[in-house]
């Protein structure tokens, strides 16, 4: 990364600030260590969730997303996100508005009523991609104070981090590498497990409409990780975090299971390796508890 | 009114472009979508069947199919379709059309209520504010839920697009109209 100071507008979304603020604090803390400043997006709303609001009414989903993009444009900054839903929504909206000029006019007519305009001058980045591509793996390795040697990590990508490929642009969605690179850079080991690339089960309004079915789906994924000998799961998505972490409490209540499998947003695991404490990263404020192996 | 297929292409085309939506005509029922569908393992969702229903103009059947709402929008089928059918976007468009005709579950409409009341599908509550404070963050993030004039912008957009009417929202009660508010 170049020496110049880099600033981003942090699009918080809903789950990160309103359910798992440990994710928010991990992003701000980790990036600060690399000289990346985070600016708040005053007045941002829900992204809004692409599989939920996009399923209800595309023509409401798009102007709300465009309004969020316009806030970052006014700040003159690129965006980073900590949720695949936000990534999916904002990047897709930006892509569509850049591609289709008629659509853009229509959306701007609506935005004009609230004093906003989408110009197409920002870029939507995922925080994990910022770490991988902008910060880079060598500077990351240089900041590792507590290498996570002997820690087996199950990687869960979620869906909208990689797909659709034509919008995301991170290569193959069947053989991803970004999180694997990061896990290795902090001294841990990615483990293979059955259905590694399968969705967490929460998206598209399924969790909202039928929690039981979505939990049944998630349970299978967790069992696969545990059977493969993983010590924890990391992911790039606040909504997956909710489903994987809070979902374990809900599963234990609904199915009589006794899951307590540690769930971390990828930057929380990176934060631990960089020497931040469990408390500083908000990991003591969630359902699943961190094992000694990750904290020593 | 034209066929359901025309309507899907028209509604979705306005956002994705018609070419994107026209791919639905290319579905040859090979079933690769359904074979790789994680939802289909545990639910009745059969994407191949939905698309055949769409091609055959089975409006009522598709709008009333509960499995239409069991897609998590994971895009596995979208990426794997050998004919380039934009599966996930087509499913979302069919859901839009179903919702317009009143086929929208109460829990889904309630998410819409949160959005209209706070600007967030998942708003913050007092317990979460305490957690934020405990880890050294402002008790409330600087979003629409905190700033009324910012929230009003989102509400205005939703009135413009008719989202409030779509979910049957009552602005006096700030909740769903009628008895469904309590469900």
Residue A3 pLDDT more than 90? no
By mean pLDDT, which of A169-183, A272-286, B59-73, B168-182 is the weakest?
Answer: B168-182
pLDDT tens-place string over residues A30-70: 999 999 999 999 999 999 999 999 999 999 999 999 999 99
Average pLDDT over residues A159-173: 96
Rounded CA-CA distance B86/A244 in Å is: 28
Question: For position A5, what pLDDT does the model report?
Answer: 66
Residues 44-103 of B with CB under 8 A from A: 69-76, 78-79, 88, 91-93, 95-96, 99-100
pLDDT tens-place string over residues A251-287: 999 999 999 999 999 999 999 999 999 999 999 999 9
Rounded CA-CA distance A233/A182 in Å is: 13
Q: How many CB pairs under 8 A join A and B?
A: 215
Cβ distance A217 to B93 less than 8 Å, yes or no, reads no
- Measure A136 CA to nearest chain B CA, in Å: 27
Average pLDDT over residues A148-154: 97
Residue A103 pLDDT more than 60? yes
- Measure A181 CA to nearest chain B CA, in Å: 23
**Considering only CB atoms, which chain B residues are within 8 Å of A194?**
none
Name which of B7, B12, B15 to mutate to probe chain A: the one with the most chain A Cβ atoms within 10 A of its Cβ.
B15
Confirm or reject contact between B3 and chain A (CB < 8 A).
no
Name which of B10, B114, B120, B169 to mutate to probe chain A: the one with the most chain A Cβ atoms within 10 A of its Cβ.
B120
- Measure A45 CA to nearest chain B CA, in Å: 5
Cβ distance B160 to A110 less than 8 Å, yes or no, reads yes
Cβ distance A58 to B108 less than 8 Å, yes or no, reads no
Rg (CA), chain A: 19
Rounded CA-CA distance B166/B164 in Å is: 5
> b/e map of A139-171 (b: 16 or more CB within 10 Å)?
ebeebbeeebeebbbbbbbbbbbbbbeebbebe
Confirm or reject contact between B139 and chain A (CB < 8 A).
no
**Considering only CB atoms, which chain A residues are within 8 Å of B17?**
99-100
- Determine if residue A189 is left, alpha or beta; phi over 0 gives left, psi from -120 to 50 gives alpha, anything else beta: beta
Q: Is B83 exposed, middle or buried (0-12, 13-18, 19+ CB in 10 A)?
A: middle
Question: For position B76, what pLDDT does the model report?
Answer: 98
Question: For position B178, what pLDDT does the model report?
Answer: 80
For the record, the structure tokens of A255 come out as: 């199915």
- Whether domain A6-126 has CATH 3.90.105.10: the reply is no
Q: Is B72 exposed, middle or buried (0-12, 13-18, 19+ CB in 10 A)?
A: buried
Q: How far is CA A23 from the centre of its chain?
A: 9
- Measure A10 CA to nearest chain B CA, in Å: 11
Residue B183 pLDDT more than 70? no
Question: For position B182, what pLDDT does the model report?
Answer: 61
Rounded CA-CA distance B156/B121 in Å is: 17
pLDDT tens-place string over residues A215-238: 999 999 999 999 999 999 999 999
Residue A23 pLDDT more than 80? yes
> b/e map of B132-161 (b: 16 or more CB within 10 Å)?
beebebeebbbbbbbeeebbebbbbbbebb
Whole-structure pTM over 0.90, yes or no?
A: yes
- Backbone φ and ψ for A168, nearest 5 degrees, come out as -70, -45
Confirm or reject contact between B122 and chain A (CB < 8 A).
yes
Q: Which of B43, B154, B73 is nearest to A200 (CA)?
A: B73
**Considering only CB atoms, which chain A residues are within 8 Å of B75?**
159-160, 163-164, 173
Name which of B77, B108, B154 to mutate to probe chain A: the one with the most chain A Cβ atoms within 10 A of its Cβ.
B154
Per DSSP, the residues of A190-204 read EE--TTTT---S-TT
Average pLDDT over residues A10-21: 98
Average pLDDT over residues A96-109: 97
**Considering only CB atoms, which chain B residues are within 8 Å of A241?**
none
The residues, ordered by sequence, that sit 6+ positions from A182 with a Cβ below 8 Å of its Cβ are A128, A131, A132, A137, A140, A266, A270
Name which of A24, A45, A54, A287 to mutate to probe chain B: the one with the most chain B Cβ atoms within 10 A of its Cβ.
A45
At the topology level, CATH places domain A145-295 in: Rossmann fold (3.40.50)
Average pLDDT of every residue of chain A: 97
Question: For position B52, what pLDDT does the model report?
Answer: 98
Q: Which of A141, A143, A170 is nearest to A158 (CA)?
A: A170
Residues 6-45 of B with CB under 8 A from A: 11-12, 14-17, 38-39, 42-43
Beta bridge partners of A7: A37
**Considering only CB atoms, which chain A residues are within 8 Å of B71?**
51, 204, 206
- Measure A85 CA to nearest chain B CA, in Å: 10
Which residue in the block uniquely carries the two structure tokens 């899951």?
A259
Domain ranges of chain A: 6-126, 145-295
Question: For position A296, what pLDDT does the model report?
Answer: 82
Dihedral sign for Cα A253, A256, A261, A265, please. negative
Average pLDDT over residues A90-105: 97
Task: Given the cut 0.90, state whether the ipTM is greater than it.
Answer: yes
Average pLDDT over residues A23-36: 98
Which residue in B has a C-alpha nearest to residue A111's C-alpha? B157
Model confidence at A4, pLDDT cuts 50, 70, 90, reads low
- Determine if residue A136 is left, alpha or beta; phi over 0 gives left, psi from -120 to 50 gives alpha, anything else beta: left
Other Cβ atoms closer than 10 A to B129: 17
Cβ distance A45 to B144 less than 8 Å, yes or no, reads yes
Percent of chain A exceeding pLDDT 90 equals 98
């Amino acid at each position: 990364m170049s020496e110049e100071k880099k600033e981003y507008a942090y699009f918080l979304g809903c789950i990160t600030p309103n359910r798992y603020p440990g994710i928010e604090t991990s992003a701000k803390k980790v990036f600060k260590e690399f000289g990346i400043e985070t600016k708040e997006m005053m007045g941002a709303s829900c992204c809004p969730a692409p599989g939920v609001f996009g399923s209800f009414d595309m023509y409401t989903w798009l102007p709300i997303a465009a309004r969020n993009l316009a806030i970052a444009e006014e700040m003159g900054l690129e965006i980073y996100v900590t949720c695949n839903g936000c990534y999916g929504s904002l990047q897709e909206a930006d892509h569509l508005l850049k591609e289709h000029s008629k659509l853009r006019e229509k959306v701007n007519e609506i935005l004009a009523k609230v004093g906003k305009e989408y110009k197409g001058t920002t870029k939507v980045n995922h925080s994990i991609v910022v770490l991988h591509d902008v910060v880079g793996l060598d500077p990351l390795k240089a900041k590792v104070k507590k290498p996570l040697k002997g820690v087996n990590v199950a990687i869960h990508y979620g869906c909208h981090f990689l797909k659709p490929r034509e919008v995301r642009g991170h290569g193959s969605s069947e053989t991803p590498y970004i999180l694997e690179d990061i896990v290795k850079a902090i001294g841990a080991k990615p483990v293979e497990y059955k259905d590694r690339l399968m969705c967490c089960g929460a998206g598209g309004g399924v969790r909202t409409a039928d929690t039981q079915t979505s939990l049944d789906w998630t349970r299978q994924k967790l069992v696969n990780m545990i059977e493969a000998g993983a010590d924890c799961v990391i992911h790039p998505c606040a909504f997956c975090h909710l489903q994987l972490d809070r979902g374990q409490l809900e599963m234990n209540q609904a199915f009589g299971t006794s899951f307590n499998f540690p769930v971390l947003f990828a930057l929380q695991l990176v934060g631990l390796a960089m020497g931040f404490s469990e408390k500083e990263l908000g990991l003591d404020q969630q359902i699943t508890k961190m094992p000694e192996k990750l904290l020593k | 009114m034209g066929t359901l297929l025309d309507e899907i292409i028209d509604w979705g085309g306005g956002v994705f472009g018609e070419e994107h939506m026209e791919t639905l005509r290319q579905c040859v029922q090979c079933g690769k979508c359904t074979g790789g569908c994680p939802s289909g393992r545990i639910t009745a969702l059969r994407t191949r069947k939905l698309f055949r229903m769409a091609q055959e103009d089975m409006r009522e059947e598709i709008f009333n199919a509960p499995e239409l709402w069991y897609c998590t929008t994971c895009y596995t089928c979208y990426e794997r379709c050998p004919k380039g059918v934009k599966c996930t976007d087509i499913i979302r468009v069919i859901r839009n059309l179903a919702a317009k005709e009143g086929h929208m579950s109460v829990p889904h409409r309630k998410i819409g209520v949160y959005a209209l009341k706070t600007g967030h599908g998942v708003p913050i509550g007092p317990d979460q504010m305490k957690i934020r404070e405990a880890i050294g963050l402002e008790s409330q993030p600087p979003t629409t839920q905190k700033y009324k004039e910012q929230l009003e912008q989102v509400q205005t957009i939703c009135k413009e697009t008719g989202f409030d009417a779509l979910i049957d929202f009552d602005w006096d009660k700030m909740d769903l109209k009628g008895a469904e508010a309590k469900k």
